[in-house]
Each structure stands twice: as structure tokens, then as C-alpha cells.
Amino acid sequence: MLTSKTSPYDVIIIGAGINGCCSAYTLAQAGLNVALIDQDGIASGGSGAAGAFISPKISKAGNLKEIMLDAHAEALKFYTAHFPTYTLVKPLLHIANSPKEGEKVETFKHETNLKHSTIPHSIQTLLSDDAQNSSSIYFDIGAVVDAQGVCHAMAEGIDFYPLKVESLIRKDDMWQVGDLMAKHLVLTIGAYPKLLPIDYVGLRGIWGHRIDIETAAHIPCILHHHVSISPTLKGGVVAIGATHDVHYSPFRGEPYDVEEGRAQLLEKASKTLKLNNINILDDYMGLRSGSNDYLPMLGALVDADATLEKYPRIRHGERNDPSEYIYYPHVTMINGSGGYGFVLAPYLAKRLRDFLIEGREMDPILSPSRFFPRWAKRQS
């Protein structure tokens, strides 16, 4: 940890969750001089709580499916190649938790190129009747990473500053954060209060609680059903999680009922298989930051005031090409990964690197500016 630096960095990254750490790692590997900042330490937000499964998203055809497929393939390669000691590779059984999801699973199974096979008898016999009778897909390869371990390993050798950023200052064509300066700023702050006036960015926090347990039951593969149940890198420890609560927010100062969360997790897990002699070892809780349209965000941020001043008719529904909007200079946001932050981080970090180093355009589908016109219309 350093306390101050007067010579500028190439990039300052605010937020040391999986998106900040993976970006820092990828940019530093490419030769950039990176500063990483977090108010609470590395992997202290949603990332530190994550089960961190590198699982495919079972979704219908469309942009999200394509991006998730690429991201999943890149993530499996990335973690196993660069962080093998933090990555546990195991088969993965995804069981539908409702008839509607069952339809999705069947379609996915029919269309996917991912290697999958019939469930081994030894696993089949462990499952509840409900799980056995639901649609499912058994992937030969799945993975789970040690969320906190991998974030710390990525940040190794990067200049890390434990700071709460209150404001961003632009001076002499540089971004200034406390004593630090850089040409580029990357915002990877998850579901925390936004640091710029970017109310148009459609994000919501989804609270999650997961637990590590000891149990006499043997868990031979990663199971996703009503909750995930999985072996971990900590010998004998089984992870169960996570809950999805869109109503609770730690920022409102409300108390959270840990016992209720634990009970919910164990009840959901019991719908998949019988876990006996359970001893709860640890609780992990945090906010996922999900985008309103489920696609992640990677891109520049529109300066809403400046853009509306230049094009006031946007308020009345006039459509401008996004290239005409005014953007905060040299700022990129990565956010909105929902429950797939660990799957998406290597994919997003690689595209950030290609943009910063090779000037390759970022995918407009992922641009946070996609939310701007609709929001602007509501400002009239």
C-alpha cells in the first residue's frame, strides 16, 4: 500500500471488486501503470460475498446469450490458466427450479455447443425426487473460484490505495483523485452510490447471502437448483447460496436478519438433496449490481447536463446518434454484471484493454449510454 504519488498513472481504477481487480490485472499485464482504489479493501463489496461460480447462463437466444457464452468460455480459460490455485474445476449440474425454467433448459440443451452428458448414476441417486424429475443439464466442466483469494491475487503488485473517493476532479486534462492523477479513469464501484451525476444509468442492487457449511453429505459436483450447492477449495467445506433480495439495502441502515437468511438457504438446498450433520461455518453477504436490461455495462459515460444543453430536444424524444452525445472524457464504467460478475470480468477487462491500448471500439450494446435517451425523455 502506498500513501501518495505525484507522477501520473495511466489509469486510476475506483473499486477493487472482481471488475476492478481483473481490469487492474489485465491492464498491468499489458504494460499500463495502474492505481487501484477501494474504501474498504480488496473484495470488500459484492465480490467478497460471491459464490463465484463460472457457470453458463441458461438463457434464450439474443445478445445476452451470445455475450454470456463468449464470456463463460473466456472466463473458464482465464481462471484455469492464470489463477489455477484459486479455481476448482468440477462437473456442473443445472436443474430447473420451475416448469418455465425447464423449458429454457430444454431449449438450451438442444442448442448449446457446450459439452454435456447424462447425469452419472452416482449423482442421480443423491437427488430428491423433485430434482430428479425436473429438466436438467449436466456439463462435464464447470468451475468455482475462491472469490476473495482470486481478487487479492489479481491485485498483487498493483499500487493499491485504501481511500473513499468523495469527488472526481478534472484538471489539466487529467483526472485527479486525492493526490493521484491519471489520464483514464475506470469506475468499477458496483451497487455503491454513483460518483458522477449519471442517474440515467439503470442499475439496482440485489442483496445476496450465502453460507459455507460442514456436512456429512458428499457433494460430487456443482449443483444449481433453487440455490447452488457446491464443493469449495477449502477441503470438506460446502458452499450454499445465494439468496436474491431486491428489497433489502444495507445503505438504508435497516438490520438484516442473518438467521432468516440461513434458514431460507438450508430450506432451498433441502429441495435438491439431503444434507446431514450441518454445521454453519461462515456467512457472506453483499450486493450484486444488476442492470435494468440484464446486459452488463462497459463504456463511456454521457455527461447528461452538457448533452441536454446542446440537444434540448432529446427531452422531447428526438433521437440523436450516441456518437453526438457529450461524454465525460476518458472515463469508462464497468458495472451491471448482476449474478455473473466473475463470469463476465475477464471478458469485460479484455475489451477495456483493447479499447485503451489498441483503440478498438467497445461494443455499443454494452454502453451505459443506452439508458440515456429514455431517461432524458422523462426529464421534460
Report if residue 188 touches ligand FAD, rule: CB under 6 A. Answer: yes
| Least CB distance to ligand FAD at residue 319 (A) | 30
- The residues that bridge with 337 in the sheet, in sequence order, are 290
Which window, 134-142, 189-197, 256-264, 307-315, contacts ligand FAD (CB under 6 A)?
189-197
Residue with cell 495511466: 10
Alpha helices in the chain (DSSP H): 18-29, 46-49, 63-82, 99-111, 121-124, 129-133, 147-155, 258-270, 304-310, 341-358, 372-377
| Least CB distance to ligand FAD at residue 310 (A) | 29
Region 73-112 residues binding ligand FAD, contact defined as CB under 6 A: none
E strands present in 172-313: 174-177, 180-187, 203-214, 222-224, 228-231, 237-241, 279-291, 297-299
Question: Residue 32, Cβ neighbours under 10 Å: how many?
Answer: 17
The answer to whether the beta carbons of residues 173 and 81 sit under 8 Å apart is: no
| Residue type present at position 300 | A
Report if residue 299 touches ligand FAD, rule: CB under 6 A. Answer: no
| Least CB distance to ligand FAD at residue 227 (A) | 10
Interface pick for ligand FAD out of 11, 24, 52, 105 (rule CB under 6 A): 52
**Under 8 Å CB-to-CB from 139, ≥6 apart: which residues?**
56, 91, 92, 93, 94, 114, 115, 116
Which window, 126-134, 182-190, 305-313, 357-365, contacts ligand FAD (CB under 6 A)?
182-190
Residue 12 vs residues 92, 159, 264, 354: alpha-carbon distances, Å:
37, 10, 40, 17
The 212-251 contact track toward ligand FAD, x by CB under 6 A, reads: -----------------------------xx---------
3-state secondary structure of 299: strand
Report if residue 346 touches ligand FAD, rule: CB under 6 A. Answer: no
Which window, 97-105, 134-142, 314-322, 340-348, contacts ligand FAD (CB under 6 A)?
340-348
Question: Residue 225, Cβ neighbours under 10 Å: how many?
Answer: 23
Which window, 219-227, 261-269, 322-330, 336-344, contacts ligand FAD (CB under 6 A)?
336-344
**Under 8 Å CB-to-CB from 282, ≥6 apart: which residues?**
211, 212
| Least CB distance to ligand FAD at residue 176 (A) | 14
Interface pick for ligand FAD out of 11, 16, 154, 227 (rule CB under 6 A): 16
Quick one: 249 or 320, whose CB is closer to ligand FAD? 249
Interface pick for ligand FAD out of 13, 35, 49, 137 (rule CB under 6 A): 49
Report if residue 26 touches ligand FAD, rule: CB under 6 A. Answer: no
Report if residue 192 touches ligand FAD, rule: CB under 6 A. Answer: yes
Report if residue 189 touches ligand FAD, rule: CB under 6 A. Answer: yes
Interface pick for ligand FAD out of 12, 13, 14, 71 (rule CB under 6 A): 14
Report if residue 304 touches ligand FAD, rule: CB under 6 A. Answer: no
Report if residue 335 touches ligand FAD, rule: CB under 6 A. Answer: yes
| Least CB distance to ligand FAD at residue 347 (A) | 11
Report if residue 343 touches ligand FAD, rule: CB under 6 A. Answer: yes
Report if residue 175 touches ligand FAD, rule: CB under 6 A. Answer: no
| Least CB distance to ligand FAD at residue 119 (A) | 21
Handedness of CA 59, 60, 63, 67 (dihedral sign): positive
- Tell me how far apart the alpha carbons of residues 208 and 51 are, in angstroms, rounded to a whole number: 10
Report if residue 71 touches ligand FAD, rule: CB under 6 A. Answer: no
Among 276, 240, 263, 268, smallest CA distance to 130 is for 268
- The residues that bridge with 333 in the sheet, in sequence order, are 187, 299
- Tell me how far apart the alpha carbons of residues 296 and 335 are, in angstroms, rounded to a whole number: 6
| Least CB distance to ligand FAD at residue 107 (A) | 22
The answer to whether the beta carbons of residues 147 and 47 sit under 8 Å apart is: yes
Report if residue 154 touches ligand FAD, rule: CB under 6 A. Answer: no
Q: Give the angle 314-330-321 at the CA atoms, nearest 5°.
A: 25
Residue 228: phi and psi, rounded to 5, are: -90, 140
Note the residues at the interface with ligand FAD (CB under 6 A): 14-20, 37-40, 44-47, 49-53, 164-165, 188-190, 192, 195, 208, 210, 241-242, 286, 288-289, 335, 337-343
